[in-house]
Amino acid sequence: MQSDEEEEQEFVALLTAHQGPILAYIRSLMPGFSGASDILQQVNMVLWRKRESFELGTNFKAWSFTVARNMVFTQRRKLKKGAWLIFDDDLAERFAEEFEEDDESLDRAHRALAQCVTQLRPHDLELVRKRYAEEVGLDEYARDLNRSPGTLKARLFKIRANLRRCIELQLQTSPQS
């Protein structure tokens, strides 16, 4: 039987070893979101607080991913209430399920997204880049283009819907590695 100190050391080792996979999982659920590291820190705090409920020798990755998934979906709900436009929950849920089943699935999903993004029209790609990569607000970008924020919001909705369909098609037709 291990001492409390030995169990704590083993838990710390598991937590440390899984930082990369947990962060990748969070990013798979929140593509383009710059706060993934902040969510990871929140996940770490929850895992630490709940460490006594984890049974050593069981699947740490599955347990930690469940906590991460809950934290991500909490964050997604907060972002939906604000000005952020994010991929819908169904697509995020699909990424989560595939990631949990097989790490290769995340690579497939990212490849599908990358392929689909290359098919965007230049002005749609620019809108996506401004909104998600550069995190420019819709109001600000609309002023720059002399367009209404509602028009850009509607266009982003259509772009995300098209990307979703494209990704789903790519995932259905691409061979699994």
Q: What is the pLDDT of residues 128-176, one digit of tens each?
A: 888 776 667 788 888 988 999 889 889 988 998 898 889 889 888 866 5
Choose which CATH entry (3.40.50.720, 3.20.20.140, 1.20.120.160, 1.10.1740.10) describes domain 1-82.
1.10.1740.10
Q: Of 39, 64, 38, nearest to 50 (Cα)?
A: 64
Residue 82: predicted pLDDT: 52
Helix (H) or strand (E) run with residue 155 in it = helix 149-173
Contacts of 132 (CB under 8 A, 6+ apart): 31, 32
Q: Of 163, 12, 31, 22, nearest to 103 (Cα)?
A: 22
Residue 101: predicted pLDDT: 58
Q: Give the separation between CA 91 and CA 106, rounded to whole angstroms.
A: 13
- pLDDT at residue 105 is higher than 80: no
Choose which CATH entry (1.10.3470, 3.30.360, 1.10.20, 1.10.10) describes domain 85-177.
1.10.10
Same fold across 1-82 and 85-177: no
Domain coordinates of the chain in residue numbers?
A: 1-82, 85-177
Q: What is the pLDDT of residues 2-56, one digit of tens each?
A: 778 888 899 999 999 999 889 888 888 877 677 788 899 999 999 999 998 999 8
Evaluate whether 32 touches 159 at the Cβ level (below 8 Å). no
Entry pTM: 0.50
- pLDDT at residue 86 is higher than 60: no
